[in-house]
Amino acid sequence: MNLEEIIGIAAGIFTTLGVLPQIIKAIKTKKVKDVSPYMFVILCIGVGLWTVYGIMKQDWPIIITNGISFLLNGIMLYIIITQPKD
């Protein structure tokens, strides 16, 4: 594994895990009133397209990290949509 691959994998991991603090906070506090659902829709579209790109290139680090990111951002979007807006 070369430095370029290591940097790419590290970037994918950090990008993927970046949404976890928001998900954890939303689950703990049950408050998402100030969280934009549009941002998560846009993120889902972006990482979904990256996943398709990874499939087309047969690049497993891109497929895995963006696939997981799509799932996590989708979970956050689901939480936003289903939580009461009080």
Look up the domain containing 70 and give its range.
Answer: 3-82
Query: Which residues lie closer than 8 Å to 11 by C-beta, 6 or more apart?
Result: none
CATH number at residue 40: 1.20.1280.290
Tell me, what's the pLDDT at 1? 86
Q: How far apart are CA 23 and CA 60, in angstroms?
A: 25
Tell me, what's the pLDDT at 86? 65
Angstrom CA distances, 21 to 4, 24, 28, 72, 73, stand at 27, 5, 10, 11, 12
Low pLDDT (below 50) residues in the chain:
none
How many domains is the chain built from?
1
